[in-house]
A and B are shown apart, each in its own frame.
Chain A
Amino acid sequence: EAGVAQSPRYKIIEKRQSVAFWCNPISGHATLYWYQQILGQGPKLLIQFQNNGVVDDSQLPKDRFSAERLKGVDSTLKIQPAKLEDSAVYLCASSLHRDPYEQYFGPGTRLTVT
C-alpha cells in the first residue's frame, strides 16, 4: 500500500512569512496526526484528527498555527506568521482508527525559518 505522503519536503522562509504543509494519509485511515520535531528532540503531537473532526489540539500554538482536514482525507498545516523557533521537521502520521492502532509516518517536511 502507498504510504503517507507529504509536501513539500523542504521549505526555507523568513520570519514573519507564512507557510503551509500538505499531508495525504494512507487510504482508509480515519485518524491523522501532525507532529513537530525540533532538532535533538522527539516528535511532539500538535494536532490529531478523527475523520474531519479535531480530537486533540492541546499542544497546537493556536495564535499562529492552524490545521484542517476537509472531507476527512487530506490535511494542511499552516503557520502564520512564522518564528525562528518554528524551525523543525513537521511529520504527518495516520492510523486506521483512533485507538490503539499503529501510526504510520510520512517522510516529513523540514522547515527552516531565517
Chain B
Amino acid sequence: AQRVTQPEKLLSVFKGAPVELKCNYSYSGSPELFWYVQYSRQRLQLLLRHISRESIKGFTADLNKGETSFHLKKPFAQEEDSAMYYCALRTGGGNKLTFGTGTQLKVEL
C-alpha cells in the first residue's frame, strides 16, 4: 500500500537560513509527488509537482527514486514561508492523493 512519511511535525528556522522539509514515500508503481501548502487562515493549495521540475516561491523539490524521497528545499527562508506543508503521492490511474501528516514550518526573525 502507498504511504507518505513526513518525519517532522514542526520545523523552526531563522529568516535567511536554508530550509529542507523531508518527505519519504513507499509505492510499488511509478510515483507522482506533490507539495501542498496551507498558509494561516487560507485554503490548502498546490505548491509544486515533481513532473514540472519548476521553482515556485523559491522552493524546489527533486524526486529521488533510489531513496524514495521528495524533499522540499529553499536556500533562504522568508517570514512569509511560515505555513503547513503537506507532501502528497498520486497513485493509480485516477487522481487519488495520499497525503503525509504535514510539517509546520515556522520562520523566525
Contact = CB atoms under 8 A, between A and B. Distances in A.
B95 A42 contact: no
Contacts of A105: 43-45
Given A100-B32, A100-B90, A45 B44 contact: no
Contacts of A101: 95
Interface in A15-69: 31, 33, 40-45, 48, 55-56
Interface stretch (B14-22, B56-64, B72-80, B96-104): B96-104
A91 interface: yes
What does DSSP make chain B's interface, helix, strand, loop or mixed? Answer: strand
Nearest to A95: B95
A42 B101 contact: yes
Interface of B: 4, 9, 32, 43-46, 86, 88, 90, 93-102
Interface of A: 3-4, 31, 33, 40-45, 48, 55-56, 91, 95, 98-108
